[in-house]
Every structure is written in structure tokens, then in C-alpha cells.
Amino acid sequence: MTNNPDPKEQHPQPDTEGEQLAPPGSKSSVTPDMGDEPDHGEESYEGSGQLQDQVAIVTGGDSGIGRAVALAFAREGADVVIAYLEDEEEDGAETARLIEAAGRRAVKVPTDLTSEKACDELVERTVSEFGRIDILVNNAAYQMAQPKGIEDITTEQFDRVMKTNLYAMFWLCKKSLPHMSSGASIINTSSVQASSPSPELMDYATTKAGIANFTRALASSLGERGIRVNSVAPGPIWTPLIPATMPEEKVESFGQQTPLGRVGQPAELAPAYVFLASGKASYITGEVLAVTGGQPVTV
């Protein structure tokens, strides 16, 4: 008999009753009446030196998936530069504390990556601190559900989604490459939305499909340089982004449509990023790794 827990019950469905959060959502604004706090692996993730002395950039590193990845990387032995919006300083400071508690260096870069200059500065700050970049995780994202779909998506929103999710990834990959050598890894966060788009998330889903194709094209380009490029495609994951950007009725049932019947936790995503960044994934590039509770990703 297996000693593994039942995956349907490993993390209970959060209590989602309560008022919505202001976008883009922050961990520090999650109060008890907003439901259970996300699990980033604070009590559960145990490292084994898979990323010892490597240097990683994690965008959107203040909360949610980004915090879980930054924490896991640090416990695997990496120093971590986290980028996040200036309004999320409290969350960023907590992620930095977790990195330092793991005995690694944390560098906080509050910034808005919809600006090419900000992406330049993030890379320059990392190189000035560490001299190189071993792992780049393009995780920062913006979404805002619009119940009427395209009719309610403004040009301003469309621009913000495209620049946060696609432009920043493009700029950071391009600007990081001169500071990456053979063995380095780029990991981009796609989504189950890439192949199963929700009408109310049309713009967001478009970017996530683009990320999958960008990942494959860049992997083909960089293979000869020994730099691997992969993507993780999360399914419904419980982060502050969800109650901040989705209607309350959608939040209440979030994740229940999966074969496992529940929402996922950021801590359940982090091992996928660690694996793809590590030498254990040495023959994997151009891959989209789905962590979706059983929902298929075919993009």
C-alpha cells in the first residue's frame, strides 16, 4: 500500500467566501474572511542541493507561484532575485525573508516590467550583484476577467496583459542571454488557459498560448548553446490573483472542475520549476509541463 496521501484530499478546497481583493492581488491583503491562505511550501518544502550556488531571477516573486518557486530555489541552494510591483513591497519582503531563512541571498527589485527599461535594470542589477544569471523564471502575469469577453476588454487592459505577460518575457530573455552560459535554464509560466481558454480571459489566454510557442521556438534556437528553455502550465492555483481578478461566483467553484476536484496550491507547482531548472532535466527543452490537477494541456 502506498504511503502517499490521496491527491484529492492533500490540500482541502479553500474557504472562498468573502469580499473580493483589489487587483492585482497581494498575499498581505488575504485576511481570514478571504478564505485559507495559499501554501507556498513554508512548512513542507525540503531541499536537496539541486541548485547549489546558482543565481536565479524570479519575476512575480512576491506571492503565489513566484513565492513558492523562490522559496524552493533557495532551499535547493540558489540565490534569488525577485521582481515585483512596487505596491507589493510587504509581500516582497516576506519572500526575501524566506529566502534568507534558507541561508541564501535575496535581492528585491520592486519594478514594473511592462517597461523595457525596467527589464534592462533588473538584468543589470542581477549581474552587478552576482556576475551571471543561471536561471530565469518569467512568472509575472496580469489578468482581469471580463464576463462579456471582448466587449469589455479595453485597449488599456489588453496592452497591460500583453506587456506584462509577453513583452516582459521577450525583453528579459533577450537581455539575460549575454549573461547565461551552457547549463543555464529559462522557465516561462504558461497556463491551462493556453489550450482551454475561458471567454472572460480571452486576452490572458492569448498570451499564455503565445508563451508556449515562444518557449518552443527559443528552445530550438538556444539548444546549440546548451541553454534549455521550458514552460510550466499551471491549472487552477489558489493565489491572491484569483479573488482579485475573478467574479466571486467563479472564485467559489475555482478548481472543482478538475479531475482531482480541487484547486491546487503554489507549493504543488514549485517542484516542477526546480526539476526543469536542475540537471535532472538535462535532456528536456522546449517542453510544456502541465500541473493542472488532470486538465489536459495540448497547446
pLDDT in tens, 211-236: 999 999 999 999 999 999 999 999 99
Interatomic CA distance for residues 33 and 47, integer angstroms: 33
- What pLDDT score does 129 carry? 98
Q: What tens digit of pLDDT does each residue of 131-180 get? A: 999 999 999 999 999 999 999 999 999 999 999 999 999 999 999 999 99
- What pLDDT score does 69 carry? 98
pTM for this prediction: 0.89
pLDDT at 128 over 70: yes
How many CB atoms sit inside 10 A of residue 69's CB?
Answer: 33
- What pLDDT score does 36 carry? 72
Mean pLDDT, the chain, whole residue set: 90
Q: How far is CA 186 from the centre of its chain?
A: 12
How many CB atoms sit inside 10 A of residue 167's CB?
Answer: 17
Residues near 3 by beta carbon (within 8 Å), at least 6 away in sequence: none
pLDDT at 54 over 70: yes
Identify the helix (H) or strand (E) that includes residue 136. strand 135-138
**Greatest mean pLDDT range, 25-29, 97-101, 246-250:** 97-101
Q: What tens digit of pLDDT does each residue of 27-49 get? A: 554 444 445 789 999 999 999 99
Which domains, from first to last, does the chain contain? 48-291 (3.40.50.720)
% residues pLDDT > 90 (the chain): 79
List, by residue number, the catalytic residues.
204
- What pLDDT score does 21 carry? 47
